[in-house]
Structure 1
Amino acid sequence: MTAPAPEPQRVRCADAAEAAGDLMEGSAPPADHWFLVEHQGPWDRYVLTGSGFDRAAAGALDRWAREWVGRVLFVRRPGRQVRPAQRRWYRVDGRPGHESVRTGLFTAEAELVDVVADPAAGVTDDGPLILVCAHGRHDQCCAIRGRPLAAAVAAELPDHTWESSHVGGCRFAAAMVLLPHGVVLGDVAAVDGPKIATRYAAGQLPEAGVRGRASLSPVVQAAQHHARIATGAYGVDALRPVDASPDGAGIWHVRFAAPDVTIVLRERRVDAGRGLTCAATAPGWMRVFDLLDVAAPDRAAATH
Structure 2
Amino acid sequence: MRGYLLVEEPGPWGPGAVPATRLGGELTDRLRQVAAERGVRLLLVRRPSAAGRDPDGPRRLFFADVRRGRSAVLTRTARLEELAAAAAADTGWSVHRDPLLLVCTHGRKDWCCALRGRPVVDALAALVPEQVWECSHLGGDRFAATVLTLPDGAVHGRVQPQDAPALVAAVGSGRLLPSLLRGRSCDAMVVQAAEGHVRLLDDLDELEAVRPRAAVRGEDGRWVVDLQVRGAPVRVHLREGTAPAHQLTCSAASAQRARTWELERVER
- Calculate the TM-score normalised by the size of structure 2: 0.92
Residue 237 (structure 2) pairs with residue 264 (structure 1): yes
Q: Does the CA-based 8 Å contact 2:221-2:241 persist in structure 1?
A: yes
CA distance in 2, matches of 1:230, 1:276: 26
Partner letter of residue 214 of structure 1? S
Select 1:83's aligned residue among 23, 46, 53. 53
CA distance in 2, matches of 1:133, 1:166: 6
Partner letter of residue 288 of structure 1? T
Deviation at 1:49, TM superposition (A): 5.2
Q: How does 1:112-191 map to 2 (within 5 A)?
A: 112-191=83-162
- Which stretch has the larger CA shift, 261-270 or 181-190? 261-270
* Cα distance per residue 1:116-141 (max 9 Å; x no partner): 22244411111200011111111111
Query: How many residues in Structure 1 have an aligned counterpart in Structure 2?
Result: 264
Local SS of the residue matching 2:87: helix
Residue 3 of structure 1 corresponds to which residue in structure 2? none
CA distance in 2, matches of 1:48, 1:136: 13
Q: Does the CA-based 8 Å contact 1:60-1:116 persist in structure 2?
A: no
CA distance in 2, matches of 1:182, 1:190: 21
Q: Does the CA-based 8 Å contact 2:13-2:19 persist in structure 1?
A: no
Task: Give the root-mean-square deviation of aligned CA atoms.
Answer: 1.7
Question: Which structure is higher in RCO with an 8 Å CA cutoff and minimum separation 6?
Answer: 1
Q: Percent identity?
A: 36
Partner letter of residue 264 of structure 1? H
* Cα distance per residue 1:90-117 (max 9 Å; x no partner): 0100111110100011122x31222222
Residue 169 of structure 2 corresponds to which residue in structure 1? 198
Q: How does 1:212-291 map to 2 (within 5 A)?
A: 212-259=183-230, 260=232, 261-270=234-243, 272-291=244-263
Unaligned runs of 5+ in 1: 1-30, 297-304
Unaligned runs of 5+ in 2: none
CA distance in 2, matches of 1:274, 1:115: 43
Residue 6 (structure 2) pairs with residue 33 (structure 1): no
* Cα distance per residue 1:177-210 (max 9 Å; x no partner): 1111111111101011232122111100012111
Partner letter of residue 93 of structure 1? D
Distance 1:114 1:157, change over 3 A: same
Distance 1:237 1:275, change over 3 A: same
Q: Does the CA-based 8 Å contact 1:104-1:123 persist in structure 2?
A: yes
CA distance in 2, matches of 1:243, 1:193: 33
Q: Does the CA-based 8 Å contact 2:46-2:53 persist in structure 1?
A: no
Q: Does the CA-based 8 Å contact 2:18-2:136 persist in structure 1?
A: no
- Calculate the TM-score normalised by the size of structure 1: 0.82
Distance 1:154 1:49, change over 3 A: closer
Deviation at 1:164, TM superposition (A): 1.1
* Cα distance per residue 1:150-197 (max 9 Å; x no partner): 011011101101111111111111111111111111110101123212
Q: Does the CA-based 8 Å contact 1:47-1:74 persist in structure 2?
A: no
Deviation at 1:68, TM superposition (A): 4.1
Select 2:66's aligned residue among 83, 87, 94. 94
Local SS of the residue matching 1:81: helix
Residue 267 (structure 2) pairs with residue 295 (structure 1): yes
Q: Does the CA-based 8 Å contact 1:102-1:121 persist in structure 2?
A: no
Deviation at 1:47, TM superposition (A): 6.7
CA distance in 2, matches of 1:229, 1:290: 14
> Who wins on radius of gyration, i.e. which is larger?
1
